[in-house]
Amino acid sequence: MSPMTRSNLQVGPDGRLKHLLTTEGLPAELIRHILDSADQFVSVGERDVKKVPLLRGKTIFNVFFENSTRTRTTFEIAAKRLSADVINLNVGASSTNKGETLLDTVWNLQAMDADMFIVRHSQSGAPHLIARHVKPGVAVINAGDGRHAHPTQGLLDVYTIRHYKKDFSGLTVAIVGDVLHSRVARSQIHALKTLGVPELRVIGPKTLLPAAVERLGVRVFHDMAEGLKGCDVVIMLRLQNERMNGALLPSAGEFFKCYGLTADKLSLARPDAIVMHPGPMNRGVEIDSPVADGPQSVIMPQVTFGIAVRMAVMSMLGSA
C-alpha cells in the first residue's frame, strides 16, 4: 500500500519550476535551462550597473532559521541585482524563540505580500513543509535544510563544472569527506547523475558516509588515493568543527592525513582536474592551502557563479 504518491511539489504539470526544494527529480532539461539562463546573468555582474529589472516590485524574504552569513548574502545580492525588494530575517533569533511555529512565521510573512521565500532551516524537509502551505504563486527556494538538500549550491557546482569541462558525459567526479552530514553532497549527486556523469564517487571513512549511499548511484571509496585516480573534478566537503573530535573521527589531524587534499594526492587525479569546495573552507583539515589557492582550484569562481545561478533560479520563479 502506498498512501502517499510522491507529489511533485517543485515542478508544475506544465513543466515549469514552482519551487526549488531539491535537485532530486529535477528534469535534465530544466537544470540545463537554469544553467543556460545563469550564463546570461554572469555578465550582469561584470557591468558597471549590476542590475536588471526582472523582479522589480517583487518582495523576497530571506528567512534563515539557521544562521548563515554567506549564503544569505549571496541570495541577497542576487535578489538585488534582479531589482527585487529583499528583507532579511534571522528567525533563529526571534519568533521561534517566542514559541511561534514555523508555519505561523511563514503565514505572517505571507500576509505581508511576500512573493518568494528563501528558507534555510536546520531540519530536513522544512522547506517542503512551507512549500506545501504557501499560497499558489508564492515560491520557496531551499537555501539548505538539515542534511537533506542545498539545491542552489548543487546547481552552482554543476554550473562550475560545465564551465570548465563543457560536457558531463565523460567525467569522473569525486566528492570527498563528510557526506553523511552534507546537504551539498546530496544536491550535487542528484544533479550530476541527472546530467549524465558516468562515474561519480564518494570518498570518506565509513563513519562519514550515510547508509546505502551507493543506492544514490555513486561508487564508494575509503582509500583516497584509489578514489582520486583519474578524476576530472574533485569536490571537497567542509568538515564541521563539531564532527572533528568525537565518535565519528578521532581528530582533525588524522582526518587531514587520510582525507585532506594535498598537492601530492591531487597529482593522482587527471592533470587538468579542477578542485572545488562549497566553503567555508577549513584549511589544513579537508584541504591544504597550496591546493586551495593553487592553479587547479576553482573555489572563487564557484562563489561568483553562485550569484548568477541564484539569479537564474529567482528570475524563473519570480516571473512565473
Partner 1 sequence: MKTEIRGARVVDPASGRDEAASIFIEAGKVAAIGKAPASFRPDETIEASGLVACPGLVDLSARLREPGFEYKATLESELRAASAGGVTTLACPPDTDPPLDEPGLVEMLKRRAWSLDCARVHPLGALTVGLKGARIAEMAELTEAGCVGFFQGNAPLPDFATLLQTMRYAATFGYTVWLRPQDASLAAGGVAHEGEVATRLGLAPIPVVAETVALRTLIELMGVTGARVHLARLSSAAGVALVAEAKARGAALTCDVGIHHLHLSDRDIGDFDAQCNLSPPLRDPSDRDRLRRALAEGTIDAVCSDHTPIDDDAKQVPFAEAEPGATALELLLPLTLQWGRESKLGLVETLGAVTHRAARILGVPAGTLAPGAHADICLFDPSRSWVVQPQALASQGKNTPFLGLELTGRVVRTLFAGRTVHTA
Query: Which residues are at the interface with partner 1 (CB under 8 A)?
Result: 1-7, 9, 24, 101-103, 121, 123-126, 128-129, 133, 145-149, 183, 186, 210-213, 215-216
From the CB of 197, what's the least distance to partner 1, in Å? 18
Of 87 and 129, CB closest to partner 1: 129
Of 6 and 206, CB closest to partner 1: 6
From the CB of 188, what's the least distance to partner 1, in Å? 13
Of 25 and 253, CB closest to partner 1: 25
From the CB of 1, what's the least distance to partner 1, in Å? 5
From the CB of 210, what's the least distance to partner 1, in Å? 4
SS3 per residue for the chain: CCCCCCCCCCECCCCCECCECCCCCCCHHHHHHHHHHHHHHHHHCCCCCCCCCCCCCCEEEEEECCCCCHHHHHHHHHHHHCCCEEEEECHHHCHHHHCCCHHHHHHHHHCCCCCEEEEEECCCCHHHHHHHHCCCCCEEEEEEECCCECHHHHHHHHHHHHHHHCCCCCCEEEEECCCCCCHHHHHHHHHHHHCCCCEEEEECCHHHCCCCHHHHCCEEECCHHHHHCCCCEEEECCCCHHHHCCCCCCCHHHHHHHHCECHHHHCCCCCCCEEECCCCCCECCCECHHHHCCCCECHHHHHHHHHHHHHHHHHHHHCC
From the CB of 132, what's the least distance to partner 1, in Å? 8
Of 5 and 97, CB closest to partner 1: 5
Of 125 and 279, CB closest to partner 1: 125
Of 102 and 174, CB closest to partner 1: 102
From the CB of 311, what's the least distance to partner 1, in Å? 26
